[in-house]
Amino acid sequence: MVQTRGQSRTPSKKGGKVALNGSPALDPDTPSPAPRTSSRAALQKHGQDVLAPKSHEYEFGGPIGALGVTLAVPFFSYAMFFFCNENVGCSVTPKHLDLIWKQFGVGLKESFLDVQGWAIYFAWYAFVVLCWAVLPGKWEIGTELRTGERLSYKINAFATLVASFVGAVAIISYKGPQGFTFLYDHWPALVSASIANSIGQAVYVYAASYRTGRLLAKGGNTGNFLYDWFIGRELNPRIGIFDIKTFNELRPGLILWALLDISCACKQWVKLGGRITDSMVLVVAFHGWYVIDALFNETAILTQMDITTDGFGFMLSVGDLTWVPFIYSLQARYLAFVPVDLGYAATAGILFVNGLGYWIFRDSNGEKNDFRNGTNPKNLKYMETKTGRKLLTSGWWGRSRHPNYMGDLIMSLAWSLPTAFNTPIPYMYPVYFLVLLVHRQRRDDAACKEKYGADWDKYCKIVPWRIFPYIY
Ligand SMILES: NC(=O)C1=CN([C@@H]2O[C@H](COP(=O)(O)OP(=O)(O)OC[C@H]3O[C@@H](n4cnc5c(N)ncnc54)[C@H](OP(=O)(O)O)[C@@H]3O)[C@@H](O)[C@H]2O)C=CC1
Ligand SMILES: CC(C)=CCC[C@@H](C)[C@H]1CC=C2C3=C(CC[C@@]21C)[C@@]1(C)CC[C@H](O)C(C)(C)[C@@H]1CC3
């Protein structure tokens, strides 16, 4: 599989560099830490202005926005379950609300007193950490930090995915599909445990960021407790050589998403007495492929803004650990109790929409990756900038400034179409995703404007559309 995201592969250099946050940078070929030069010496080189610059601007609506998202994400993660499940159905009517209200006590019990569900979640999390520690993987060096140093990351997310799939297949082969419905059956407890995990981690990294010498994210040090806790103060929180942000971004949430989908398919199999619908096959395959693709290209995230620029706070912890697995799998969970048979024509139509989205997503990311890696196989036009970096002005990047987002958004629609049109709830994912990517595009454009100055304005004149040509 080719690399699809990020700008370029991070250089795989040998050599013992110093990581500021107390963890030694690593020789990429050895899983054991290279000798530390002296983190204290490195600290002395950099003043507080470099390590912990004060942030003067709020994003995401400032502290009020931070509070809103902090409350909204857990609320919606529960609501999507309690408003849409096999006992109450998935309609949007006052009668339905009344029914949900009557189930409130049961919901509380299922969420907080289901010890087995909580145990499953934390056993799962421990398993993923263990895989990180014991499975082989090469060490890759990340992008240069503000301090001039680089951190190393163990690349074995794909091996973790394979180990998880092998485990799931073993359970299903041994016990049958009914033996793998336990994730579906403990859903509210799993949501609660993941929220508890994300709160715990956000509190930990916030407190740990006050240790001396931590490198803070430029936007996460406003001095407002709620906002900084939400956005994340420290850029690369680590426990020794374990990088908390990259670990959470790719492994526990994304793999759990794929496993929840499989569990939903097993539930449908049991419900229908030994078959799964074409719509379920499509959803599980589309999601599964997306997860495989992300984990196979693990190194690509090392150049993404979440890793290079943003801190790790509650927004990312709850996004990675709760939102991704439990909201992104909504369509599969819906189909588990409302089976939809699409037939050949609708299946072909949806395959076409997903294929179109995937092609745009992959081809546009590929064009940029090639270009940032110093090649231009399609001989695309580009413009020079004063920074010395070039910007593509033809091909996908000549059609809009974020063609890769367009592809991703088209795919997100294809993931909801298999649920048909009985209720709008399974379409919540593409709606959320549109909001996320429009916001992300604006943040990225602002960052590019800062980076390229007047050259970015010139590029925007050549390529006026932000995501969708002739629309936005
Ligand atoms: N499923 C999900 O929940 C999410 C998925 N994604 C996906 O992740 C992928 C990566 O997205 P993201 O990290 O946001 O950023 P992008 O991959 O879109 O990268 C943006 C960067 O590309 C460079 N760039 C911009 N224009 C040009 C050009 N014309 N020529 C060359 N380089 C250019 C700039 O950096 P520079 O010039 O410095 O190289 C810019 O900062 C996307 O496909 C997105 O859809 C993202 C978020 C969530
Ligand atoms: C509602 C809320 C708290 C949102 C926080 C946003 C996060 C859910 C997303 C921010 C960037 C993300 C990325 C992915 C998942 C969603 C979050 C965490 C990603 C890991 C999905 C798989 C992709 O292939 C990816 C690796 C490009 C992507 C990276 C960004």
Residue 423 has pLDDT above 70, yes or no: yes
Comparing 23-37, 78-92, 258-272, 455-469, which segment has the lowest mean pLDDT?
A: 23-37
Same domain for 206 and 94 = yes
Query: What local confidence, expressed as pLDDT, does residue 29 receive?
Result: 38
225-239: string of b/e by CB count within 10 Å (b at 16+)?
eebbbbbbbbbbbbe
Domain range for 433 is 342-471
Q: Given the CA of residue 306, which atom of ligand 2 is nearest to it? A: 11
Residue 144 lies in a domain: yes
Question: Distances in Å between the alpha carbon of 302 and those of 29, 297, 306, 309, 448?
Answer: 18, 10, 9, 10, 18
Q: Do 253 and 378 fall within a single domain?
A: no
Domain termination residue (choose one: 340, 362, 377) = 340
Distance 404 CA to ligand 2 centre (A): 14
Q: Does 48 reside within a domain? A: no
pLDDT at 53 over 90: no
Pocket test for ligand 2, best of 161, 301, 438 (most atoms within 8 A of CB): 301
pLDDT digits (tens, 9 = 90+) for 230-278: 999 999 999 999 999 999 999 999 999 999 999 999 999 999 999 999 9
Q: Whose CA is nearest to atom 29 of ligand 2?
A: 301
Same domain, 196 and 329: yes
User: Ligand 1 centroid to 434 CA: how many Å?
Assistant: 15
333 and 368 together in one domain: no
Tell me the torsion sign for CA atoms 417, 418, 422, 427. negative
Atom of ligand 1 nearest to the CA of 412: 1
Residue 176, burial from CB neighbour count under 10 angstroms (0-12, 13-18, 19+):
middle
Same domain flag for 205 and 74: yes
In a domain, 104, yes or no: yes
**Ligand 2, atom nearest to 318 Cα:** 3
Counting ligands in written order, the one closest to the CA of 459 is 1
**Last residue of one domain, picked from the residues 320, 340, 360:** 340
Q: Which amino acid is at 245?
A: K
Co-location of 398 and 460 in the same domain:
yes
430 C-alpha to ligand 2 centroid (Å):
14
The answer, yes or no, to whether any atom of ligand 1 lies below 6 A from the CB of 440, is yes
Asked whether residue 356 falls in the same domain as residue 278, the answer is: no
Q: Residue-wise over 154-169: b if at least 16 C-beta within 10 A, else e?
A: bbbbbbbbebbbeebe
Range with lowest mean pLDDT among 102-106, 342-346, 412-416: 102-106
What confidence tier does 47 reach under pLDDT thresholds 50, 70, 90?
low
Expressed in angstroms and rounded, the spacing between residue 264 Cα and the centre of ligand 2 is 22
pLDDT of residue 296 exceeding 70, the answer is: yes
The pTM score is 0.88
Q: Is the pLDDT of residue 12 over 60?
A: no
415 lines ligand 1 (CB under 6 A): no
Q: What is the mean pLDDT of the chain?
A: 88
For ligand 1, atom 18: residue with the closest CA: 402
Q: Is the dihedral of CA 449, 450, 451, 453 positive or negative?
A: positive
For the Cβ of 399 lying below 6 angstroms from any atom of ligand 1, the answer is no
CA 28 to chain CA mean position, Å:
25
Evaluate whether residue 8 is within a structural domain.
no
* In-domain check, residue 46: no
- Of residues 9 and 163, which shows the higher confidence score? 163
Q: Are residues 315 and 211 in the same domain?
A: yes
Of 400, 439, 467, residue with least CA distance to 59: 439
Structural domain total, the chain = 2
Pocket test for ligand 1, best of 5, 370, 439, 466 (most atoms within 8 A of CB): 5
**Residue 31 binned pLDDT confidence (cut-offs 50, 70, 90):** very low
pLDDT for the residue numbered 45? 55
The residue out of 294, 321, 340 marking a domain boundary is 340
Q: Confidence class of residue 41 from pLDDT cuts 50, 70 and 90? A: low
Residues with Cβ < 8 Å from 24, sequence gap 6 or more? 16, 18, 33, 34, 35, 36, 39, 241
Is residue 300 domain-shared with residue 219, that is, in the same domain? Answer: yes
Distance CA 161, CA 155 (A): 12
Q: Could you tell me if 63 and 200 lie in one domain?
A: yes
444-460 pLDDT, tens per residue?
999 899 889 999 999 99
Q: What ipTM is given for this predicted complex?
A: 0.94
Does residue 165 have a pLDDT over 60? yes
pLDDT confidence of residue 43: 52
Q: Are residues 355 and 309 in the same domain?
A: no
Asked if the model's pLDDT at residue 361 lies above 80, the reply is: yes
**Residue 15: pLDDT band with limits 50, 70, 90:** very low
pLDDT of residue 358 exceeding 60, the answer is yes
pLDDT at 123 over 70: yes
C-alpha of residue 188 to centroid of ligand 1, in Å:
34
* Same-domain pairing of 167 and 304: yes
372 ligand 1 Cβ < 6 A: yes
Pocket test for ligand 1, best of 257, 297, 364, 402 (most atoms within 8 A of CB): 402
Asked if residue 30 belongs to a domain, the reply is: no
Identify whether 24 is part of a domain: no
Please indicate, yes or no, if residue 275 is contained in any of the structural domains: yes
Q: What are phi and psi of 463, to 5 degrees?
A: -120, 85
Q: Residues lining ligand 2, CB < 6 A?
A: 5, 69, 73, 249-250, 294, 301, 304, 306, 315, 318-320, 323-324
Instruction: Please enumerate in sequence order all residues whose Cβ is within 8 A of that of 355, keeping only pairs 6 or more positions apart, or say none.
Output: none
